[in-house]
Structure 1
Amino acid sequence: MYREMKITPKDHTLKIYLNCKFHSVLTNKHDKSSSNPPIKIPSYQLHTTSLVLILSQLFLISSVHCSGVYSLDASVLCNKVPGLVPEQRRLCRAYPEAMAVVGEGAELGIEECRQQFSSRRWNCSSSENEPPLMFMTNIASKESAFVSAARSAGIAYAITRACSRSDLAGCACDKSVSKSDWEWNGCSANVNYGIKFCENFLDAREKYSDNSQSLMNLHNNRAGRKVLRSSMKRNCKCSGVSGSCSVKTCWTSLPLMKTIGSKLMKTYERARQVEAIRGQRSLSAVMLKLKRSASKTEKKPSYRELVYLAESPDYCKKNRTIGVLGTKGRQCDRNGDGLENCRHVCCGRGYNNQVVTKRKKCDCVFHWCCHVTCKECMELTEESSCR
């Protein structure tokens, strides 16, 4: 069984080539009553096949009996996406093949957020099942600032990577020449295109509004993209007679997303609180001003800083109104000496210990040549969770 979505930029038609019965393009659930096995697709391809997953549940096809080709016009799909502003709909119609990558990048940013905050009281979770593009967009805390920056960096990252792979029409490797004493060659990551596309699409929602939350989101979106740009790697190789470096060839490449996340985390720790200044003739917010500053001349935050408008909520207790899950039931490390320590994660409520049985490989033996065989052992381990 094989399923694939092909996007034809010329006629902006999304064609789903199917030979199956499925409940949802979004979830790829398998019909248990069917004799056909579940559809297997590579994880990267799965992301790029569903425009729904990308753009906050764009469309949902349920219980479809299909054989052959099922075609959906991109203009119809883009008009049905809930919550998109006019400029985002225009970009969706003009670049339908990029929308899957946008969603992939948004997920990339949110996943990095989960990794960076995994041991903290707030672990980048929400009680609402918000899609990646909408996650934490209406909260004005430091944590929301990190999410905006990580999501923006993730989208620009994914678009840049797709360009390097020639997955998108209209962009490819960066062939621009830099003024330097070495030769630029190879396939340099086209980060300028990725950043610009992300700015045009992601920032369009915030520019459509003029409130203080939108100003905050715009600032943090830009900060995330700046971290991506400053993290780009330069790779070089030398060539010449007898190992000399008479010719030095260089190209740029994307860093690990973890590198970007770590840099954003440091910026998060130094995030600045701001307030919106409103115009004299209008009630709309026009700029952000630092709320507290040691210098009288420093009034505006740097573009590289993360900013927030409101203090962080109490993440210890569940609060459905703002989507806070609380820490009850969270696993913690009672022997840890950092933020993962049970005393910190559990907010002083205490924790429970229980012994659980886990399976692990043991007594592994290397056989010449070349494989390893292992036994499966049961291991008792003690876990702690917050009360």
Structure 2
Amino acid sequence: MTFSCNTMNVLSYGQMKFCQLYEDHMIGVVKAAQMGIGECQHQFKDRRWNCTVMPKEPSVFGKVATRATRESAFLHAMMSAGVVHSISRMCRDGELTGCGCSKKKRPKKAIRPEWIWGGCGDNTDYGYKFSGGFVDVMEKEKNHPRKSPGLSRMLMNLHNNEVGRRAVYRHVKIGCKCHGTSGSCSVRTCWNQLPSFRQTGDRLRDRYDAAAQVTFNPQGTRLIPINRKFNRPTKDDLIFTEPSPNFCNPDPERGSLGTSGRVCDRRSQGTSGCGLMCCDRGYRSSKVKYVERCKCKFHWCCNVSCQTCERSMHVHTCN
């Protein structure tokens, strides 16, 4: 796969400098973006905002990413987490110059004394550090004004970027492999291992649901919780300053596409249910026919023959 920094036309000036210094890392950044988009769409597939990609917009997620809402908070965290995950794994696989296997020391209590600490672990220390430099430099450039709202938005985005990195870095696991005759597992080799990106997505989705609305002092330098009854947000909590649209109706300025035409589940009482998804506008039902391969048989050697089956199902879409 060939790559050039000149093809990354969405990079800020600082990120372009990173790209020139770490050009082989940029494939990992592209992978991270793809992972983040896919995971976001998985996590929100049954919600009014379903992480729709807007290919003709300057931002891949459209106007929703430019507002200081909880959706934007989630996107910043997810993309930052993706860079940690992708770069850490590429280090382990020997795909990058400047990093290799994890150099973390043997944990004192996580594994038994007789087990071997070795192998080639995911280099989360390097991934965390690179993500902090590459992802955060854009915020520091574009939101550089010394007073609110530029500075407060920068602090919000930097906070959420760090939440994403911590969602990976603080949940590293110990992976082990057994050795021994007849699968006895008399000896084990263990190493540093990333959590799955699905686990990271689940964790950040929970952070999205519990995100805290905040404001900043007039200078834009100090975070202040909106509701004084709740504790100050921690480094693991997503924060936002602007309420989200309800995403029921199209609102181009706020990034809402509306839910008209979205498929819903008429039996569900949750976010995918027709009541919530359709915003009480009602829904229409239709019978859709699907053609698929079925009753496949394997013939020695080496063919598979299948029949064609037709099935129908009821589909419900929002008005």
**Aligned position for 1:143:** 71
Runs (5+) with no aligned partner, structure 1: 8-13, 15-49, 59-81
- In the TM superposition, residue 369 of structure 1 has moved relative to its aligned partner by 6.5
**Aligned position for 1:206:** 139
CA distance in 1, matches of 2:261, 2:58: 22
CA distance in 2, matches of 1:167, 1:134: 32
For the 8 Å contact 2:62–2:255, the answer to whether it is kept is no
- In the TM superposition, residue 368 of structure 1 has moved relative to its aligned partner by 5.4
How many residues align structurally?
305
Q: CA RMSD in A?
A: 2.5
C-alpha offsets along residues 113-137 of structure 1, whole Å, 9 cap, x if unaligned? Answer: 1110001011012555344598844
CA distance in 1, matches of 2:285, 2:275: 13
For the 8 Å contact 2:63–2:254, the answer to whether it is kept is no
1:308 aligns with 2:235: no
For the 8 Å contact 2:52–2:61, the answer to whether it is kept is no
1:238-249 matches, within 5 Å, as: 238-239=178-179, 243=184, 245=186, 247-249=187-189
**Aligned position for 1:158:** 86
In the alignment, residue 142 of structure 1 is paired with which amino acid? R
Corresponding residue to 2:312 among 380, 383, 386:
380
- In the TM superposition, residue 238 of structure 1 has moved relative to its aligned partner by 4.9
Q: Go from structure 1 to structure 2 and tell me whether the alpha carbon gap of 1:235 and 1:179 turns closer, same or farther (over 3 Å shift).
A: closer
In the alignment, residue 309 of structure 1 is paired with which amino acid? T
In the alignment, residue 81 of structure 2 is paired with which amino acid? A
CA distance in 1, matches of 2:312, 2:199: 35
C-alpha offsets along residues 178-217 of structure 1, whole Å, 9 cap, x if unaligned? Answer: 3434432111000111111111011012223242221111
1:288 aligns with 2:288: no
- In the TM superposition, residue 361 of structure 1 has moved relative to its aligned partner by 2.1
TM-score between the two structures when normalised by the length of structure 1: 0.72
Corresponding residue to 1:123 among 34, 40, 50:
50
Q: Go from structure 1 to structure 2 and tell me whether the alpha carbon gap of 1:164 and 1:135 turns closer, same or farther (over 3 Å shift).
A: farther
1:160-309 matches, within 5 Å, as: 160-180=88-108, 181=113, 182-208=115-141, 209-210=143-144, 211-239=151-179, 243=184, 245=186, 247-278=187-218, 283=219, 285-294=220-229, 298=231, 300-309=232-241
- In the TM superposition, residue 262 of structure 1 has moved relative to its aligned partner by 0.7
1:101 aligns with 2:28: yes
CA distance in 2, matches of 1:196, 1:124: 27
1:327 aligns with 2:255: no
In the alignment, residue 36 of structure 2 is paired with which amino acid? G
- In the TM superposition, residue 147 of structure 1 has moved relative to its aligned partner by 1.1
For the 8 Å contact 2:69–2:243, the answer to whether it is kept is yes
Q: Go from structure 1 to structure 2 and tell me whether the alpha carbon gap of 1:231 and 1:133 turns closer, same or farther (over 3 Å shift).
A: farther
Bigger relative CO (Cα 8 Å, ≥ 6 apart): 2
Q: For residue 167 of structure 1, give the secondary structure of its aligned residue in structure 2.
A: coil
- In the TM superposition, residue 89 of structure 1 has moved relative to its aligned partner by 2.2
For the 8 Å contact 1:317–1:327, the answer to whether it is kept is yes
CA distance in 1, matches of 2:185, 2:313: 57
Quote the sequence identity (%). 36
**Aligned position for 1:351:** 283
1:29-48 matches, within 5 Å, as: none
**Aligned position for 2:148:** none
- In the TM superposition, residue 306 of structure 1 has moved relative to its aligned partner by 0.7
Corresponding residue to 1:90 among 17, 40, 50:
17
- In the TM superposition, residue 349 of structure 1 has moved relative to its aligned partner by 0.8
For the 8 Å contact 1:275–1:289, the answer to whether it is kept is yes
CA distance in 1, matches of 2:311, 2:6: 43
For the 8 Å contact 1:106–1:152, the answer to whether it is kept is no
CA distance in 1, matches of 2:107, 2:193: 18
When structure 1 is superposed on structure 2, of 131-140 and 194-203 the one drifting more is 131-140
In the alignment, residue 201 of structure 1 is paired with which amino acid? F
CA distance in 2, matches of 1:313, 1:134: 14
In the alignment, residue 223 of structure 2 is paired with which amino acid? L
Q: Go from structure 1 to structure 2 and tell me whether the alpha carbon gap of 1:176 and 1:89 turns closer, same or farther (over 3 Å shift).
A: same
For the 8 Å contact 2:63–2:252, the answer to whether it is kept is no
**Aligned position for 1:340:** 272
In the alignment, residue 156 of structure 1 is paired with which amino acid? V
C-alpha offsets along residues 43-95 of structure 1, whole Å, 9 cap, x if unaligned? Answer: xxxxxxx963xx3xx2xxxxxxxxxxxxxxxxxxxxxxx5503x222211111
For the 8 Å contact 2:63–2:255, the answer to whether it is kept is no
In the alignment, residue 287 of structure 1 is paired with which amino acid? R
CA distance in 2, matches of 1:117, 1:244: 41
CA distance in 1, matches of 2:62, 2:295: 48
For the 8 Å contact 1:301–1:307, the answer to whether it is kept is yes
Runs (5+) with no aligned partner, structure 2: 145-150
- In the TM superposition, residue 277 of structure 1 has moved relative to its aligned partner by 2.0
For the 8 Å contact 1:188–1:252, the answer to whether it is kept is yes
Structure with the higher helix share, 1 or 2: 2
Q: Go from structure 1 to structure 2 and tell me whether the alpha carbon gap of 1:170 and 1:152 turns closer, same or farther (over 3 Å shift).
A: same
